[in-house]
Structure formats: C-alpha cells, structure tokens
Amino acid sequence: MPFELAPLPYPADSLEAAIDKTTMEIHHGRHHKAYVDNLNAALVGHDQLLALPIEKLIAQIKDVPEAIRQKVINNGGGHANHTFFWNSMCPKGGGEPEGKLADAINSTFGSVANLKAKIKEAALGRFGSGWAWLVLDQGKLEITSTANQDSPLMQGKTPILGVDVWEHAYYLRYQNKRADYVEAWWNVVNWKAIGERLG
C-alpha cells in the first residue's frame, strides 16, 4: 500500500492569522505531495517498509537499506513532518496552553513566553532549511532544531510541536522575515493537539 497525502484538516484559507491561502495550497498540494510521491517511488519493491506507519519507518531509519536511506530520510521525513505540522495548527488557534501541557512548559521553561522565545531562537539559528522543535527526550521537554527534513524521531525523540522554517512555508507573505512568521505562527497553534502528544 503506497503512502497517501491526506487532505488538509481545515480549509486552506482558514489559517490567515499566520499563513496565507496560496502558501497553504502550494505547501500541501505541491511540496508535501512531492514528498509522498518521491517516498513511494523510492520504496517500490520494498513492501514491508511501505506497510509501516510513517513515524515507525522514520524512527527505524537504520533498518532502511543504505541505497535508498537518504531518499527515505528526505521524503519520508518530509511526509512525517508535514503531516505532523498540519495537525499542529487549527483555525481559531493560539491562546494559551492548559492543564498538563501548561504545567510541563512552566516547570521546564519558566513560562510560555520563554518557550516561544526559545523556539524562535532555534528557528532563526537554523541556517538554510529545516525545523524548530519542542520534543520529549527521555521524558523531558527540550527545544531543538533539525536540518532539511530530518525528524527528531531519527534521534529517538518524540516531537511535540514543530515549526517548518523552510522558505516555502512563509516566503510569499513574509519574504526574508522568518522571525515575523515564527511570531505569527503562534496565532494558529493548536495547543489541544499538542497537549495530547504529551500522552
């Protein structure tokens, strides 16, 4: 069974508080679609790998034959990261985290404002294309970033929140101003979905 591109979980024009409709359409319908298509092309004849959930395929990347491993990292990582990203946002998002998530953020980072500052630092510190992440590592929250489509799953970490900082994610509205995009991103963050990832 090949991997499939799921539809966006909301209309493309419903995240205008941070991301414009055209960016959403191109990002999902062309960039994400290309990762899925290229992943399926790389895995032709590898039926056992095609049968895995995408997160498992990426977490077990060392089991992927070396000849196709980098293609699977780039495109399978792209598929996993973007699926995760769409589900990290929602229309009428933003506000403040609640409950267990708020407690975990406050006890680890002191405040939500400080978490946002550290995500921004990770996003701006990532030279070129990549992602800024909040992850769980050995049960502890930490901020990290990855290059290209590398996933924290490849390092045995659990992604909790991720911001795509490839230019394709923000260039139409923000041009070179990555910081403005990252600040606006919190207007559409889906804290409920992110809190559920803490388990």
**Of 85 and 186, which has the nearer Cβ to Mn ion?**
85
Query: What is the footprint of Mn ion within residues 136-195 (CB under 5 A)?
Result: 164, 166, 169
CB 148 within 8 Å of CB 129 = yes
Cβ contacts of 125 within 8 Å, gap of 6 or more? 145
CB of residue 191 to Mn ion, shortest distance in Å: 21
What letter represents residue 50's amino acid? L
Measured CA to CA, the distance from residue 53 to residue 9 in angstroms comes to 19
Tokens of 170: 């923000």
Q: Name the residue whose CB lies closest to Mn ion.
A: 164
Nearer to Mn ion, 27 or 195 (CB): 27
Which residue lies nearer to Mn ion by CB, 77 or 93? 77
84 sits near Mn ion (criterion: CB under 5 A): no
Closest CB to Mn ion among residues 150, 164: 164
Q: What's the distance, CA 48 to chain centroid?
A: 25
Residue 103 Cβ vs Mn ion, minimum distance, rounded to whole Å = 31
Q: Which residues contact 29 (CB under 8 A, 6 or more apart)?
A: none
> Which residues in this chain contact Mn ion in the complex, by CB under 5 A?
164, 166, 169
